[in-house]
Amino acid sequence: MSKKRRLIFIAVWVLCAAAFLVSSLLIGSAQKSETIKEAMRDAVLHETNKISFFGILDVNPAVVSAYTVTFLILIFAAAVRIFFVPKFKEIPGKFQLLIEEAVGFFDSLAKSNSPHKNYFLGSYVFTAGTYICLGTLFELLGLQAITTEGHSISLPAPLADINGAIALGVTSYLIILSGGILGNGFKGMLSTLKEFSLPISMSFRLFGALLSGLLVTELVYYYVGLSFALPVIVGVMFTALHALIQTYVLTMLTAVFYGEVSEKTPKKDKKTRRKKI
């Protein structure tokens, strides 16, 4: 590209951008159908906007998001299983390396935190990690859905709904509990039940982290004036980073607690017990 053509391109580009910016500011936004208070409240509680779930029942948008994410992940996994896994080479290519890294990362996370009985844990943290990461990034797609009231809404991250976060937190806790029972039997179960605050803390940690991003994004998109350049930074800050951080935090916590409760505690000798007494 010559210097003159490059200058023309830049000038046209700047002019177009400036025209859209000025016109959008001059025209202003359409009459809001809901106030910011309502938008925020709905983002947190999902009380007003419901989506029909296959015509069976009305659910929060996050449920639809969750099933959409699962559907997309499973389609991708099936495609990989059918078309790529049989062609895997000993010296991996870029795509194979990506898949192997993903599996290997969660597998080594499970192995390093729980040296005993880690196969099941590895597969669970792999699932949870994939779900949290891709589920959070799913929000960036901005897929639209129609509410039961006829409004169009952007599908949120599945874990931005408290019910989704509670489901994942409780499932993780149940996995930890199963690890405790498998590793130490009744004693393991008791030591897991002792950590009764774990499902609550895991659920609300996830919910809080993702909700904060969602609220900031909602706030930014609520005002047209904030819709230039800022969403790029906000999107990266509160979606991409949250996806990675929350994936790491929940999988790490699950692996650590699983390792803790499934670790076999050495039985004390009767003689040493007597001596202590």
> Which residues of this chain interact with other proteins, rule CB under 8 A?
44-47, 53, 57, 59-60, 62-63, 66-67, 70, 73-74, 77-78, 80-81, 85, 88, 90, 99-100, 103-104, 107, 122-124, 126-128, 130-131, 158, 161-164, 166-168, 170-171
Rounded to a whole number of angstroms, the minimum distance from the CB of residue 1 to other proteins is 44
Residues 211 and 214: their CA atoms lie apart, in Å, by: 5
- Are 203 and 168 a contacting pair, CB within 8 Å? yes
Q: Which is nearer to other proteins, 9 or 95 (CB)?
A: 95
- Minimum CB–partner distance for residue 223 and other proteins (Å): 26
Minimum distance between the CB of residue 200 and other proteins, rounded to whole angstroms? 12
Could you tell me the smallest distance in angstroms from the CB atom of residue 157 to other proteins? Answer: 12
Do residues 234 and 220 lie in contact, with contact meaning Cβ atoms separated by under 8 Å? Answer: yes
Closer CB to other proteins, residue 200 or residue 236? 200
Indicate the residue among 74 and 146 with the shorter CB distance to other proteins: 74
Phi then psi for residue 46, to 5 deg, are: 50, 50
Nearer to other proteins, 61 or 180 (CB): 61
Q: Which of 275, 264, 215, 258 is nearest to 239 (CA)?
A: 215
Minimal distance, residue 207 CB to other proteins, in Å: 9
- Give least dist CB 182 to other proteins, A: 17
In order, the DSSP letters of 121-142 are: HHHHHHHHHHHHHHHHHHGGG-
Contact 53, 63 (CB under 8 A): yes
Q: How far apart are CA 102 and CA 98, in angstroms?
A: 6
* Residue indicated by tokens 């605050």: 197
> What are the residues facing 53 on neighbouring strands?
57
3-state SS class at 199: helix
Query: Alpha-carbon distance 209 to 195, whole Å?
Result: 22
Please identify, using beta-carbon distances, which residue of 77 and 233 lies nearer to other proteins: 77
Report the b/e string of 166-179 with b at 16+ CB within 10 A. bbbbebbbebbbbb
Nearer of residues 39 and 59 to other proteins, judged by Cβ: 59
Q: Minimal distance in Å, beta carbon 123 to other proteins?
A: 5
Residue with Cβ nearer other proteins (130 or 251): 130
CB 110 within 8 A of CB 125: yes
